Amino acid sequence: MEHIFFSRYKEGSTSIEFAREDLVHAAQELGIKLSKNLGDVLYSFRYRTLLPQSIRDKAPEGMQWIIRPSGRARYCFVATNVLHVAPNTLLAETKIPDATPGIVSMYALGDEQALLSKLRYNRLIDIFTGITCYSLQNHQRTTIVGIGQVETDEIYVGIGHRGAQYVIPLQAKGGNDRIDIVQIEQDVALCAEKFPTLICKPIAAQFIGENRIALFEFEQSSEGIKLYREQHYMLVPPEEMTETDLQIYRQRSLEERGN
Protein backbone atom coordinates (compact mmCIF):
# COMPACT_ATOMS: atom_id res chain seq x y z
CA MET A 1 0.00 0.00 0.00
CA GLU A 2 2.92 2.34 0.71
CA HIS A 3 4.40 1.61 -2.71
CA ILE A 4 1.13 2.39 -4.48
CA PHE A 5 0.48 5.51 -2.41
CA PHE A 6 3.90 7.11 -2.76
CA SER A 7 4.29 6.26 -6.44
CA ARG A 8 1.34 8.62 -7.06
CA TYR A 9 1.48 11.04 -4.14
CA LYS A 10 2.32 14.70 -4.67
CA GLU A 11 2.69 17.17 -1.83
CA GLY A 12 -0.75 18.56 -0.99
CA SER A 13 -2.67 15.73 -2.66
CA THR A 14 -6.03 14.85 -1.09
CA SER A 15 -7.03 12.01 -3.43
CA ILE A 16 -5.00 9.28 -5.15
CA GLU A 17 -6.65 6.75 -7.45
CA PHE A 18 -5.44 3.22 -8.06
CA ALA A 19 -6.73 -0.08 -9.45
CA ARG A 20 -6.89 -3.53 -7.88
CA GLU A 21 -4.31 -4.79 -10.39
CA ASP A 22 -1.85 -2.22 -9.00
CA LEU A 23 -1.50 -4.44 -5.93
CA VAL A 24 -0.17 -7.23 -8.17
CA HIS A 25 2.32 -4.91 -9.89
CA ALA A 26 3.49 -3.46 -6.56
CA ALA A 27 4.00 -6.92 -5.05
CA GLN A 28 6.02 -8.03 -8.08
CA GLU A 29 8.26 -4.95 -7.91
CA LEU A 30 8.81 -5.43 -4.16
CA GLY A 31 9.30 -9.20 -4.38
CA ILE A 32 6.34 -9.88 -2.07
CA LYS A 33 4.17 -12.97 -2.34
CA LEU A 34 0.67 -11.56 -2.54
CA SER A 35 -2.47 -13.24 -1.25
CA LYS A 36 -4.67 -14.69 -3.99
CA ASN A 37 -7.62 -12.91 -2.39
CA LEU A 38 -6.87 -9.30 -3.33
CA GLY A 39 -10.27 -8.25 -2.04
CA ASP A 40 -9.29 -9.36 1.46
CA VAL A 41 -6.10 -7.29 1.31
CA LEU A 42 -8.11 -4.18 0.47
CA TYR A 43 -10.82 -5.03 3.01
CA SER A 44 -8.24 -5.33 5.76
CA PHE A 45 -6.80 -1.88 5.14
CA ARG A 46 -10.24 -0.35 4.77
CA TYR A 47 -11.86 -1.80 7.89
CA ARG A 48 -9.47 -3.78 10.09
CA THR A 49 -5.91 -2.48 9.90
CA LEU A 50 -4.60 1.05 10.07
CA LEU A 51 -2.78 2.29 6.99
CA PRO A 52 1.01 2.51 7.44
CA GLN A 53 2.21 5.41 9.58
CA SER A 54 4.12 6.86 6.62
CA ILE A 55 0.82 7.27 4.75
CA ARG A 56 -1.06 8.61 7.77
CA ASP A 57 1.64 11.24 8.28
CA LYS A 58 0.81 12.71 4.85
CA ALA A 59 -2.79 13.54 5.77
CA PRO A 60 -3.54 17.27 6.10
CA GLU A 61 -3.90 18.50 9.68
CA GLY A 62 -7.13 17.30 11.29
CA MET A 63 -7.81 14.76 8.51
CA GLN A 64 -7.04 11.12 7.80
CA TRP A 65 -6.64 8.89 4.78
CA ILE A 66 -9.33 6.36 3.96
CA ILE A 67 -9.83 4.10 0.93
CA ARG A 68 -13.03 4.61 -1.05
CA PRO A 69 -14.27 2.58 -4.04
CA SER A 70 -14.07 4.51 -7.30
CA GLY A 71 -15.72 2.18 -9.83
CA ARG A 72 -15.35 -1.46 -10.76
CA ALA A 73 -12.02 -2.75 -9.34
CA ARG A 74 -10.90 0.84 -8.79
CA TYR A 75 -10.20 2.65 -5.52
CA CYS A 76 -9.05 5.99 -4.20
CA PHE A 77 -7.07 7.16 -1.18
CA VAL A 78 -9.04 10.15 0.12
CA ALA A 79 -8.01 12.61 2.82
CA THR A 80 -11.11 13.27 4.91
CA ASN A 81 -12.16 14.37 8.37
CA VAL A 82 -14.39 11.29 8.65
CA LEU A 83 -13.57 9.26 11.75
CA HIS A 84 -14.27 5.62 12.53
CA VAL A 85 -17.23 5.04 14.81
CA ALA A 86 -16.55 3.39 18.16
CA PRO A 87 -18.96 2.49 20.99
CA ASN A 88 -19.33 5.09 23.74
CA THR A 89 -18.05 3.32 26.86
CA LEU A 90 -20.07 5.65 29.14
CA LEU A 91 -23.44 4.82 27.59
CA ALA A 92 -25.93 2.91 29.75
CA GLU A 93 -27.05 -0.48 28.48
CA THR A 94 -30.47 -2.08 28.33
CA LYS A 95 -30.96 -5.72 29.33
CA ILE A 96 -32.93 -7.89 26.91
CA PRO A 97 -34.03 -11.49 27.68
CA ASP A 98 -31.91 -13.58 25.34
CA ALA A 99 -34.10 -15.44 22.82
CA THR A 100 -31.23 -16.84 20.73
CA PRO A 101 -31.77 -20.60 20.26
CA GLY A 102 -29.00 -22.50 22.01
CA ILE A 103 -28.18 -24.58 18.97
CA VAL A 104 -27.71 -21.40 16.90
CA SER A 105 -25.28 -20.01 19.49
CA MET A 106 -23.37 -23.30 19.42
CA TYR A 107 -22.84 -23.39 15.67
CA ALA A 108 -22.69 -19.74 14.54
CA LEU A 109 -19.59 -19.40 12.37
CA GLY A 110 -17.58 -16.37 13.45
CA ASP A 111 -18.39 -13.13 15.25
CA GLU A 112 -20.26 -11.56 12.34
CA GLN A 113 -22.59 -14.53 11.85
CA ALA A 114 -23.20 -14.78 15.59
CA LEU A 115 -24.01 -11.07 15.77
CA LEU A 116 -26.44 -11.23 12.85
CA SER A 117 -28.18 -14.20 14.48
CA LYS A 118 -28.53 -12.48 17.84
CA LEU A 119 -29.92 -9.35 16.22
CA ARG A 120 -32.46 -11.39 14.27
CA TYR A 121 -33.68 -13.75 17.01
CA ASN A 122 -33.91 -11.00 19.65
CA ARG A 123 -35.65 -8.53 17.32
CA LEU A 124 -33.08 -5.91 18.28
CA ILE A 125 -33.53 -3.94 15.05
CA ASP A 126 -37.27 -3.66 15.83
CA ILE A 127 -36.54 -2.61 19.42
CA PHE A 128 -33.89 -0.09 18.41
CA THR A 129 -35.86 1.55 15.59
CA GLY A 130 -39.42 1.18 16.90
CA ILE A 131 -40.34 -0.30 13.50
CA THR A 132 -41.66 -3.79 12.74
CA CYS A 133 -38.78 -5.22 10.71
CA TYR A 134 -38.24 -8.29 8.55
CA SER A 135 -34.97 -9.66 7.22
CA LEU A 136 -35.07 -9.43 3.43
CA GLN A 137 -31.60 -10.67 2.48
CA ASN A 138 -28.17 -11.10 4.02
CA HIS A 139 -24.83 -10.47 2.41
CA GLN A 140 -26.39 -8.46 -0.38
CA ARG A 141 -23.72 -7.85 -3.03
CA THR A 142 -24.33 -5.61 -6.02
CA THR A 143 -22.68 -3.00 -8.23
CA ILE A 144 -23.52 0.69 -7.85
CA VAL A 145 -22.83 3.20 -10.61
CA GLY A 146 -19.83 5.38 -9.74
CA ILE A 147 -18.88 3.22 -6.76
CA GLY A 148 -18.42 -0.33 -7.99
CA GLN A 149 -19.17 -3.49 -6.05
CA VAL A 150 -20.64 -3.05 -2.57
CA GLU A 151 -21.81 -5.57 0.02
CA THR A 152 -24.23 -5.10 2.91
CA ASP A 153 -24.29 -7.64 5.72
CA GLU A 154 -28.08 -7.71 5.93
CA ILE A 155 -31.04 -5.76 4.62
CA TYR A 156 -34.26 -5.40 6.59
CA VAL A 157 -37.54 -3.93 5.40
CA GLY A 158 -40.04 -2.56 7.88
CA ILE A 159 -43.33 -0.83 8.52
CA GLY A 160 -43.83 2.05 10.96
CA HIS A 161 -46.89 2.57 13.15
CA ARG A 162 -48.36 5.02 10.60
CA GLY A 163 -47.77 2.73 7.64
CA ALA A 164 -44.53 4.26 6.33
CA GLN A 165 -42.23 1.66 4.78
CA TYR A 166 -38.51 1.50 5.45
CA VAL A 167 -35.37 -0.18 4.16
CA ILE A 168 -32.70 -0.77 6.80
CA PRO A 169 -29.21 -1.72 5.58
CA LEU A 170 -27.14 -3.24 8.36
CA GLN A 171 -23.39 -3.46 8.84
CA ALA A 172 -22.37 -6.00 11.51
CA LYS A 173 -18.94 -5.86 13.10
CA GLY A 174 -17.26 -8.29 15.45
CA GLY A 175 -13.72 -8.90 16.60
CA ASN A 176 -11.28 -6.22 15.45
CA ASP A 177 -13.39 -4.87 12.58
CA ARG A 178 -14.20 -1.17 12.61
CA ILE A 179 -17.39 0.62 11.65
CA ASP A 180 -16.47 2.91 8.79
CA ILE A 181 -18.55 5.79 7.45
CA VAL A 182 -17.57 4.75 3.91
CA GLN A 183 -19.57 1.54 4.33
CA ILE A 184 -22.57 3.52 5.54
CA GLU A 185 -22.27 5.80 2.52
CA GLN A 186 -22.32 2.73 0.28
CA ASP A 187 -25.39 1.36 2.07
CA VAL A 188 -27.23 4.63 1.50
CA ALA A 189 -26.24 4.61 -2.18
CA LEU A 190 -27.39 0.99 -2.52
CA CYS A 191 -30.79 1.78 -1.02
CA ALA A 192 -31.22 4.89 -3.17
CA GLU A 193 -30.64 2.81 -6.30
CA LYS A 194 -32.42 -0.44 -5.38
CA PHE A 195 -35.19 0.81 -3.04
CA PRO A 196 -35.87 4.42 -4.11
CA THR A 197 -39.43 4.55 -2.72
CA LEU A 198 -38.52 3.38 0.81
CA ILE A 199 -37.19 5.46 3.71
CA CYS A 200 -33.57 4.48 4.33
CA LYS A 201 -32.39 4.06 7.93
CA PRO A 202 -28.75 2.85 7.85
CA ILE A 203 -27.67 0.97 10.96
CA ALA A 204 -24.44 -0.59 12.21
CA ALA A 205 -24.01 -3.14 14.99
CA GLN A 206 -20.92 -4.15 16.92
CA PHE A 207 -20.11 -6.63 19.66
CA ILE A 208 -18.73 -4.89 22.75
CA GLY A 209 -18.61 -8.11 24.74
CA GLU A 210 -19.86 -11.67 24.44
CA ASN A 211 -23.52 -10.69 24.77
CA ARG A 212 -23.24 -6.91 24.67
CA ILE A 213 -24.19 -5.21 21.43
CA ALA A 214 -23.91 -1.57 20.37
CA LEU A 215 -26.32 -0.31 17.71
CA PHE A 216 -25.79 2.90 15.75
CA GLU A 217 -28.23 4.76 13.50
CA PHE A 218 -26.95 7.20 10.88
CA GLU A 219 -28.58 9.90 8.79
CA GLN A 220 -27.73 11.81 5.64
CA SER A 221 -27.00 15.50 6.23
CA SER A 222 -25.79 18.37 4.07
CA GLU A 223 -22.28 17.55 5.37
CA GLY A 224 -22.52 13.83 4.60
CA ILE A 225 -23.30 10.84 6.80
CA LYS A 226 -23.61 11.64 10.51
CA LEU A 227 -24.15 9.49 13.59
CA TYR A 228 -27.73 10.09 14.75
CA ARG A 229 -27.98 7.91 17.85
CA GLU A 230 -26.43 4.98 19.69
CA GLN A 231 -27.87 2.38 22.05
CA HIS A 232 -26.31 -0.54 23.92
CA TYR A 233 -28.05 -3.83 24.72
CA MET A 234 -27.06 -6.75 26.92
CA LEU A 235 -28.60 -10.17 26.24
CA VAL A 236 -29.23 -12.01 29.51
CA PRO A 237 -31.10 -15.13 30.69
CA PRO A 238 -34.67 -14.11 31.63
CA GLU A 239 -34.06 -14.86 35.32
CA GLU A 240 -31.38 -12.15 35.42
CA MET A 241 -33.94 -9.43 34.70
CA THR A 242 -34.48 -7.75 38.07
CA GLU A 243 -37.31 -5.58 39.35
CA THR A 244 -34.82 -2.72 39.59
CA ASP A 245 -34.04 -3.10 35.87
CA LEU A 246 -37.74 -3.00 35.01
CA GLN A 247 -38.30 0.09 37.18
CA ILE A 248 -35.47 1.89 35.38
CA TYR A 249 -36.91 0.98 31.98
CA ARG A 250 -40.42 2.08 33.02
CA GLN A 251 -38.99 5.43 34.11
CA ARG A 252 -37.17 5.81 30.79
CA SER A 253 -40.42 5.14 28.96
CA LEU A 254 -42.30 7.76 30.98
CA GLU A 255 -39.58 10.34 30.35
CA GLU A 256 -39.65 9.62 26.60
CA ARG A 257 -43.42 10.09 26.52
CA GLY A 258 -43.04 13.34 28.42
CA ASN A 259 -40.65 14.63 25.76
Q: What mean pLDDT, rounded, does the chain reach? A: 89
Residue 95: which of 240, 203, 207 has the closest Cα?
240
pLDDT above 90 coverage of the chain, percent: 56
* Per-residue model confidence as pLDDT tens digits over 101-132: 999 988 887 788 899 999 999 999 999 999 99
- Model confidence, pTM: 0.77
Digit-coded pLDDT (tens) for 198-234: 999 999 999 998 899 999 999 988 777 889 999 999 9
Q: Please spell the DSSP secondary structure of 90-148, one letter per residue.
A: TS-EEEEE----HHHHHH--HHHHHHHHHHHHTTHHHHHHTSEEEEEEEEEEEEETTTE
**Tens of pLDDT, residues 133-166:** 999 998 888 877 767 778 899 999 999 999 999 9
Mention every residue, 6+ apart, whose C-beta is less than 8 A from residue 118: 98, 100, 124, 211, 213, 235
Sequence-distant (6+) residues with CB within 8 A of 135 are: 120, 154, 155, 156
Number of H helices, E strands in the chain: 9, 11
Radius of gyration of the chain from Cα atoms? 20
**How far is C-alpha 241 from the chain's CA centre?**
30
Looking at residue 72, its pLDDT comes to 78
